[in-house]
Structure 1
């Protein structure tokens, strides 16, 4: 079978099968590239969580994509967890590291730092004097500098001075009453649940039918032990004993996973 034919065969395989092949032969670049293409959606979705946070989306996406490749190379399918549950914390961790190392540690020229302090003091004075937040043009007039210099210093100061998300956006649009927090993309909470969901699904597969009914009834349907006991046809004491046993088993499996 030639290389082209092999690649076509690999493309027809399920992702799980590809990971099994790759785990046996890490030098198989064909399978590796297919796995990267199929899972790039993870990098895209997780990158979007950090839109409008001071860094270009393309830069964040590049970091996320490299983290995805790193996760593919390290993923061990024999442990039984879904790839998404393994890759998500790896990708998010690399993005956060990028923000720490590349964004918040940027150096701002001393001239800009000194001007930023003057602008901050001028804003406080003008706010007290005029009972409203001053515009850049008003600050420039008060300090006898150009508006461009004010804007440059304000923009540069974002690199080393944290800003409250409750700060008004101070623009001239119809949404002038919006805060910076209103303009920042909200975090998709479901992504933080990916690892837990995959872990629970894997754990539930190892329970017997009776244990599954108890877990589903107690923690998914919010039923009492007495209601579950009546439905199944056993005593409440038995339900309580099995529930404790399952929870202990859950704790042990979780400690192994982390």
Structure 2
């Protein structure tokens, strides 16, 4: 990576080809704003991925994404390349911390119409009274009849109340015939595909850097630009068989690196 000056403005020769490590090294030395902007742009996908984890929780996605971007900016400014860990490993908890902080500050200020708040309180009281009378949990229609309102209003109030009374993941449920109780976290837990996506990006970025220039071009052309082996061979002035062999060689290199991780 080389730096040049054009019309009084600094630039990086082959800017798009510069690796993230090269840019972080340069930024740590010179703190140049245009490199900072490029690093932020390259890693916006992390902010986007993490923002999606927090949708449908009472705050607009756009607001969450803006907060995540602020966290990303903090991460770029604070990242220390000499520590040896990948940027995303540092950025992820930094961004999540900013998002959670925003939810703590704003989550309970979500405005719900006063009539809904009052109806929600009446529903809770009515549930207890009707449960004693009916010896079971009342239905939505029974609650509506008791409170002299529509079923739609009951459902609206019950849904809105979730914003103000979120369930703890430590809530324990009776497992019926099983001796072991189950908590809510076990019932709703699932594999986190978003973190997997970030890990995959880290793996690719780290191992692409180890390839030579021709291998990088073949990989980019085949799997990112969707070119055929014939098109690549013609462009590089080599045989299609050579392209095929190099592609297999690249895949084998990736397989070896994956084995190191999972063995």
Q: TM-score, normalised by structure 2?
A: 0.56
Q: Please point out which of 178, 189, 192 is paired with 1:188.
A: 192
CA spacing shift, 1:31–1:124, aligned 2, 3 Å: same
Q: Which runs of 5+ in 2 are unaligned?
A: 172-183, 207-258
| Larger RCO of the pair (alpha carbons < 8 Å, separation 6+) | 1
Residue 100 in structure 1 maps to residue 98 in structure 2: no
The whole-number CA distance in structure 2 between the counterparts of 1:125 and 1:25 is 69
How far residue 158 of structure 1 moved from its aligned partner, in angstroms, is: 2.3
User: What does residue range 48-127 of structure 1 map to in structure 2 within 5 Å?
Assistant: 48-104=52-108, 106=110, 112-126=116-130
**Could you report, residue by residue, the CA deviation over 1:125-163 in whole angstroms, capped at 9, with x for unpaired residues?**
44562845522x442221113445434533442232123
Kept after mapping to 2: 8 A contact 1:49/1:188: no
Say which is worse superposed, 2-11 or 12-21, in terms of deviation.
Answer: 2-11
How far residue 184 of structure 1 moved from its aligned partner, in angstroms, is: 7.2
Q: Please point out which of 13, 22, 25 is paired with 1:20.
A: 25
The whole-number CA distance in structure 1 between the counterparts of 2:67 and 2:77 is 16
CA spacing shift, 1:127–1:164, aligned 2, 3 Å: farther
How far residue 188 of structure 1 moved from its aligned partner, in angstroms, is: 1.1
Q: TM-score, normalised by structure 1?
A: 0.57
User: What does residue range 172-211 of structure 1 map to in structure 2 within 5 Å?
Assistant: 186=190, 188=192, 191=195
The whole-number CA distance in structure 1 between the counterparts of 2:194 and 2:86 is 16
Kept after mapping to 1: 8 A contact 2:44/2:69: yes
**Could you report, residue by residue, the CA deviation over 1:19-69 in whole angstroms, capped at 9, with x for unpaired residues?**
11111122x222111111111111122222223333333222221111101
Say which is worse superposed, 74-83 or 105-114, in terms of deviation.
Answer: 105-114
Equivalent residue for 1:35?
39
CA spacing shift, 1:63–1:114, aligned 2, 3 Å: same
Kept after mapping to 2: 8 A contact 1:67/1:94: yes
How far residue 121 of structure 1 moved from its aligned partner, in angstroms, is: 2.3
Q: Which runs of 5+ in 1 are unaligned?
A: 167-179, 202-215, 222-258
How far residue 8 of structure 1 moved from its aligned partner, in angstroms, is: 5.9
Q: Which has the higher strand share?
A: 2
CA spacing shift, 1:60–1:75, aligned 2, 3 Å: same
Kept after mapping to 2: 8 A contact 1:113/1:157: yes
CA spacing shift, 1:133–1:41, aligned 2, 3 Å: farther
